[in-house]
Structures are given as C-alpha cells and as structure tokens.
Structure 1
Amino acid sequence: MDTVKIEGVIFDLDGTLLDSTWVWSQIDTDFLKKRGFEVPKDYSTAIMAMGFEEVAKYTIKRFLLQETKEDVMAEWDVMARDAYAHDVKLKKGVKKLLLWLKKQDIKMAVATSNSASLFEPCLKNLGIYDWFHSFTETGDVKRGKEFPDVYLKAAEKMGVNPGNCFVFEDILPAVLGAKKGGFQTVLVREPKWNYAKEDFDLICDYAVDEIDEAISLLNQWKCDMI
C-alpha cells in the first residue's frame, strides 16, 4: 500500500514561529497614546486575523483618525523595523521542527499578515530565511486569514495539495480559515488568547503547547495514512 506523503507545511510568523507579539502590543500602546487613546480591551481580538492593510483601515475608522491607511502603515513599519531586525527571536522549539522538516525534505512556506520589509531582515538575521520555499502575505490576496485565500496561494506556490499540507497557526480564526481550504491544521497554543479546550478541540485537527511537539504527530500522521 502506498504511503501518503506530507507534501508541505505552511507557517504563520508572529506568535507561531516568532516571539514577536510583544512588539505589536507596544506599538498599539504607543501609537494610540500619541493620539490620546488607550488600547481597548477588545482591540487585539478584533484585529487578530486581519491583514496589515485591514488593521490600518479598521484603526482609522474605529478611532476616527484623520490619516490615510498608507500613513498609518508606514508609521507602524518604522516603529517595528528595529525590533524585527535585531530583537525578535524564534519561539521555543521552532528551530528543532524546521531542521526536522528540512531533513525530511518537506517544503516549507510562510503565510503572514506581516510585511516583507519587516520579516525578511528578521528571518535573515535568525539564519532561516533561505529555508522557506516561498512567502505569501495577506496583502497578496483579497481576504484575511479567517478565509483560506492566503493558504491556498501559499500551497499553489509550493505546488502541493492542501489535503497533504499542514498549516501552523496560533489563533483560532486563522485555523478555521485554513480548514476551509482543506488543510491539515495545527494550533500552537498561545496563553495570551486563553482559548477554551472545547473550542480548539472542535476546530483544530491538532493542538500543541510547544511547536516541536508536532514532530511526533507528523510522524504519526504519515504512519496512519499508510
């Protein structure tokens, strides 16, 4: 009997591969404080699955800012650039998983709401930029991560079948978007989001606390498919 091969893996960046959510929390605080606002409690949840441009539009509308989305995005980019180039690190277990996937000759790609001006210097500084087959931003497609578009585009670039491709994410709306595209999904639990167990049990194919725990489940998936 033939073995069904894992053809590819698509990773989110912020909060999944990169320990970078602190950067955006600080930017939210500083950006809004400069304009006389505090960060509302529901702000992070409201924007979590949006693309960069969507967040800018939402922020302008919510706080009635007299600025263009281009101006807002440019300011965020400047605020984040130094941190991404020098201070953002990989999350625990990431390098171990990526090295294992390289050894298995499994293609890897990135699907992110971030912009290349930030993530390229970061991944190059961390020495893993060239490990990825391709990069797809939510700005390359029409809808955010609550829809499958960005993952389908990433899979198309790699030339892989969504059913034999895993998507790693740290937020449930994005996992749901990937599932709509027919992908195998792994939630990397992030305490910040405080999801109830029954929520991710219903939505995700798999959930892990540390990303390198996925090595055993990927091996098991291959065995189960024989």
Structure 2
Amino acid sequence: MSQESDATGGVERGVNAGKAAIFDLDGTLLDSMGIWREIDRRFFGRRHIEMPADYAAHVASMQTGAIAQYTVERFNLQESAQDLVDEWNDDAQLLYAIAVSPKPHAVSYLRSLRESGARLAVATSLPPRLREAALGHAQMKDYFDHVCSVDDAHSKGKEEPDIYLLAASRLGIEPSHCTVFEDLLIAVKSAHRAGMKAWAMYDESSASDWDAITREADGAIRDFAQAPQLL
C-alpha cells in the first residue's frame, strides 16, 4: 500500500525509486485539465450541443482516435472521426503553446533529477506537435533524454505496459530501476506490470479514482515538492 505525502511536503523516503524516471504529461507534469475543458467547450459550442456531465470521465483513459469515434457515434455526428481529431488538435496546439502550466514544482524536480545523474523520459499519448508545444511552453524540453509515445510502442494505449518498456529500453535502464509518474489508475497498473515502481500525481480529472490509485501506487503526491529522490 502506498504512503501519500502530507500537505507540508513530507514523504515516505524508504522507497528504492531507481535510477531513471518516466513521466506522463497530461495531468502529471502538466496541469492541462483546463485546456481540455476549453477544447470541449469550443467543440460542443460550435455544434450547439450541451456537453453531458459524464462525457469527460468516460473518455479520460481513451486514445484520441477512440474518443473521436465514440463522440461521432454517441452524438450521431455527420463527420468523420478524423475530422474531429483534426479540429481538436488545431485548438490544442494553440492552447498548449500559450496556456498550459507545469504542475507545482515540476520543473525544479526535473532539474534536481538531472543534476543527480538520473535518466529521464516522457511517456505520453499526445501527438508530436502537441507535446512539443507543451514542453516548449512549460520550459521542460531540455530535461529529457527521450520522448516516447504510445504510437512509438505500437500499443493501444497505456492499458498496456509497452510504452514504459520502450522508454526504459531507450534510456538503457532496467525496468526494475525505473520509476513512473502517472495520474491514471490504468497507467499506474501498467507501470507495475512493466516491473517498475509507480508514483501517482493527483489530478482533478481522475479524482474519482484517487483512493484506488493511492492503494495501487508505491507513493502518491499532489506537488512535485513531495516527490521521491531517486536512489
């Protein structure tokens, strides 16, 4: 069972966190929930459709193409799934380039890991133009040795451990010496299936799963000032 950090930044330090760290972007390193709310608001507003209360939670763990297909079918839209993906990406590229913010103390934590000699990677579902815009705006780009996507891993998404194993391989670090940081329950479980430690970052988008996430994860934080030192 994990130990959630206290509000003052104290954290259980007895975890052998490894020699490499692999980070999710949306909801973990990046406080991007507001951006996707705005994208949803624009999308449904253009179509004069009231966004259902359960929509965001239902699509939270899906990949973009699957979300688009689900949306077309649920709302009986006379558009292709690719049309929706293109529209969302156009809105997202603008917003990620000008509005996305790092989670508290994320940049200073990345800096401290680099200074310690740890190897760092991103494991994300975001397409290249969005992750590049986000990392640039958040001033994180230069901290990472590799950026990996679910497409690189040829997997359906983070319900499979492939992306984490790919990141470890590219970093040249054994999976057992890697620590993954994620905000979704399904991703924390996949990191464990990859043989890695998994620390959970709180995000409002997965708040309903937070108790389950903290039970599954090796540690849980709400601010990167509470994150572990890699041993």
Q: Does 1:10 align with 2:22?
A: yes
| Change beyond 3 A, Cα 1:120–1:201 | closer
- Counterpart of 1:79, as a letter, is D
Residue 170 (structure 1) aligns with: 183
Q: For residues 190 and 79 of structure 1, what CA distance do their matches in structure 2 show? A: 22
- Of residues 194-203 and 142-151 in structure 1, the stretch that sits farther from structure 2 once superposed is 194-203
Map 1:54-203; keep pairs closer than 5 Å: 54-140=66-152, 141-195=154-208, 198-203=211-216
Q: For residues 65 and 101 of structure 1, what CA distance do their matches in structure 2 show? A: 47
More helix by share: 1
Residue 8 (structure 2) aligns with: none
Partner-residue secondary structure (3-state), 1:15: coil
CA-CA distance at 1:96 after TM superposition: 1.5
1:163-196 per-residue CA deviation (whole Å, 9 max, x = no partner) reads 1101111121221122221110000112443246
Could you say what the CA RMSD is over the residues aligned between the two structures, in angstroms?
A: 2.0
CA-CA distance at 1:197 after TM superposition: 6.0
Structure 1 moving runs of 4+ over 4 Å: none
Gaps of 5+ in 1: none
1:51 to 49, 57, 63: 63
How many correspondences in the alignment?
Answer: 215
Q: Does the Cα contact within 8 Å between 2:184 and 2:213 map onto a contact in 1?
A: no
Residue 49 (structure 2) aligns with: 37
- Counterpart of 1:182, as a letter, is G
Partner-residue secondary structure (3-state), 2:58: helix
Q: Does the Cα contact within 8 Å between 2:161 and 2:190 map onto a contact in 1?
A: yes
1:109-164 per-residue CA deviation (whole Å, 9 max, x = no partner) reads 11112111112122123332121111122233221112212222222221222111
Instruction: Give identity over the alignment, percent.
Output: 34
Residue 218 (structure 1) aligns with: 229
Q: Does 1:208 align with 2:204?
A: no
| Higher RCO structure (Cα 8 Å, ≥6 apart) | 2
TM-score in terms of structure 2 length: 0.85
| Change beyond 3 A, Cα 1:138–1:53 | farther
| Change beyond 3 A, Cα 1:40–1:7 | same
- Counterpart of 1:146, as a letter, is E
Partner-residue secondary structure (3-state), 1:22: helix
TM-score in terms of structure 1 length: 0.86
| Change beyond 3 A, Cα 1:177–1:42 | farther
Partner-residue secondary structure (3-state), 2:53: coil
